[in-house]
Structure 1
Amino acid sequence: MYREDFSPATLLPVSRAPALGGSTTGPDAVITAAVHTSPRPAAAAVGFGLPFKVKLVCDERQLLRVQALRQLAYGRHLPGQAEAFGSADAQDRTPGTVIFYAEDKASGELVGSVRAQSNRHAPLQIESSIELPPLHQGRQLAEITRLCVRPGYEHQVRLALLKALYLYCIAMQIGGVVAGSRRSLLRTYLSLGFTDLFGDERMCPLQHAGGLPHRVLFRDMLQTDAPVRSWRPQDYEFVYRDFHPDIEVFDSIAAAVSFGLSGRAVPSRPH
């Protein structure tokens, strides 16, 4: 018989254990214990909806849409290099590279995208411009590139894309993430626990980013989150604590594993 079979506040007999060096007052001595049997409340997860969905690029059609968004987004700040950022990029198709995109639910437009490359198959792109400190050499790392958002789209797309990458890196046992940051993104990265890779805030021209100077940042995926909470707690909660069912990281990865970037249609979850 289980505790749940009794009515609330039932008094049950419980045998008294003999005291050390002594005895009970009788062979049938008992004490009574109140058993609290009210049903436990359900612990359902609370999800926070977003006006967009975040998914993994799994076919050429989606990749072409991402390229068009890159050209539009980079063209706003770097008009001279917009075409280069929006053209076909061999890195998009290399092993160890994933691309996430955000799609607005109402309009169906792409509103953001980000790419991550791990060094499992080849060195990181950024290593053509800098040498990683010895502490990070030989570790499984990833590099964030091509983070872009549709101009004028005000929702938390950047944070959602970075959250998708964070979840992906944890699943893939990636111990640290490197990012070359322009000044416009520096505050966002710092709020999520990234620190200066070299510790001296130097600006490094990056070949794969048009030769433009960037701060090189690093995030240890296994470090404590305590310092991050005090910097921008709302960003911390969004990325590391809140549940967002519209960030479809693992559903998309499962589909990509089954179908690959082969031109075949990848089944998606019903909206």
Structure 2
Amino acid sequence: MSVQHLPFTVRLVRTEDELAKAVSVRHAAYARHLPVFAEQLKQPELSDFNSDAVVLLAESRLDGSPLGTMRIQTNRNDALPLEQSVRLPEWLHRRRLAEAVRLGIKDGVAGHLVKTVLFKAFYLYCVQSQVDWMVIAGRPPIDRQYKRLLFSDVFPELGCVPLKHAGNLPHRVMSLKVADVEPLWRASQHPLYDFFFHTRHPDIEIEQAEGSVTQAMQPLSARRSGVEVHLAAQ
């Protein structure tokens, strides 16, 4: 296995400053395409403090600036965010699931690499946390990038469905079985196969996965009540 060092790191958010960086790049990314919905993302969300969630942050090694973010939410204790809007099919019931939400990438030439590394971090987190299925929702045309990762439609007969946690915008709900990623990508000669499975990236630091989600977010827990007050006042 080869080793590749990146010009940025991807870590679990642990402090208020790191969360603020994640929120800033999240808001800016959504504001480019969904400015009205982005107004709701200027502050941390309650889900950022959920014990079933972690927030990933990609930071530049050069100056520490935020380059990308993603929140991963599992159904260990509660339903996934998208389950506010749709009932998942029977074959996903009683399975450990993880949903990737609030993907945001800083506009620029490094955006594609940052996004790819965040998805590798998502996959590695799911492997470490013994997640059965990765679930994601994408609005057109963003859903095409998930199709290229070999995610499949959860509701092929429905097409896109409005999602409450995504401003009621229509999204395509897709899934990929974690145990199938390696053999599926190998068989299809996926262009990212070596990047995911034959390359080690020391700059992806998500070693504290299962059993320590709350620990990773512990420094932020005191802010939850403040966020609740802020949202109630809106």
Q: Specify the TM-score bucket, using the shorter chain as the normaliser.
A: 0.7 to 0.9
Tell me the residue number matched to 1:85.
41
1:12-51 → structure 2 map (5 Å cutoff): 45-51=1-7
| Structure with greater Cα Rg | 1
Tell me the residue number matched to 2:30.
74
Distance 1:259 1:168 in 2: 13
Residue from 85, 105, 127 that aligns with 1:170:
127
Residue from 58, 66, 71 that aligns with 1:102:
58
Q: Counterpart of 1:183 in 2: which secondary structure? A: coil
1:128 Cα offset (Å): 0.9
C-alpha contact (below 8 Å) 2:13/2:216 kept by paired residues: no
Cα distance change on mapping 1:224 and 1:55 into 2, 3 Å:
closer
Distance 1:57 1:253 in 2: 15
1:247 Cα offset (Å): 0.9
1:46 counterpart letter in structure 2 = S
Tell me the residue number matched to 1:60.
16
Q: Render the CA deviation track for 1:215-247: whole Å, top value 9, x for unaligned.
A: 100011122634434667322322333211111
Q: Percent identity between the aligned chains?
A: 34
Distance 2:75 2:187 in 1: 31
1:147 Cα offset (Å): 0.6
Cα distance change on mapping 1:114 and 1:224 into 2, 3 Å:
closer
Q: Render the CA deviation track for 1:192-223: whole Å, top value 9, x for unaligned.
A: 23111123360011100011111100011122
Distance 1:82 1:91 in 2: 16
Deviates more, 1:247-256 or 1:141-150: 247-256
Answering whether residue 83 of structure 2 is matched by residue 142 of structure 1, we say no
Tell me the residue number matched to 1:7.
none
C-alpha contact (below 8 Å) 1:69/1:86 kept by paired residues: no
Q: Render the CA deviation track for 1:148-202: whole Å, top value 9, x for unaligned.
A: 1001242411111111111111111110011011224323322323111123360
Tell me the residue number matched to 2:228.
none
Distance 1:90 1:248 in 2: 24
Q: Render the CA deviation track for 1:21-71: whole Å, top value 9, x for unaligned.
A: xxxxxxxxxxxxxxxxxxxxxxxx531111111010012221111111111
Q: Counterpart of 1:115 in 2: which secondary structure? A: strand
Tell me the residue number matched to 1:113.
69
Distance 1:184 1:247 in 2: 28
2:32 counterpart letter in structure 1 = R
Q: Counterpart of 2:11 in 1: which secondary structure? A: strand
Cα distance change on mapping 1:259 and 1:200 into 2, 3 Å:
closer
Deviates more, 1:86-95 or 1:254-263: 254-263
Distance 1:253 1:145 in 2: 19
Task: Name the structure, 1 or 2, with higher relative contact order (CA <8 Å, separation 6+).
Answer: 2
Tell me the residue number matched to 1:261.
218
C-alpha contact (below 8 Å) 1:55/1:252 kept by paired residues: no
1:253 Cα offset (Å): 8.2
1:79 Cα offset (Å): 1.4
TM-score (norm 1): 0.74
1:223 counterpart letter in structure 2 = D
Distance 1:86 1:94 in 2: 18
1:258 Cα offset (Å): 5.7
Tell me the residue number matched to 2:148.
191
Tell me the residue number matched to 1:241.
198
Distance 1:212 1:232 in 2: 34
Distance 1:79 1:245 in 2: 35
Q: Specify every segment of 5 or more residues in structure 1 that has no aligned partner in the other structure, as ranges.
A: 1-44, 265-271
What RMSD, in angstroms, separates the aligned Cα atoms of the two structures? Answer: 2.4
Tell me the residue number matched to 2:165.
208
C-alpha contact (below 8 Å) 2:125/2:209 kept by paired residues: no
Q: Counterpart of 2:3 in 1: which secondary structure? A: coil
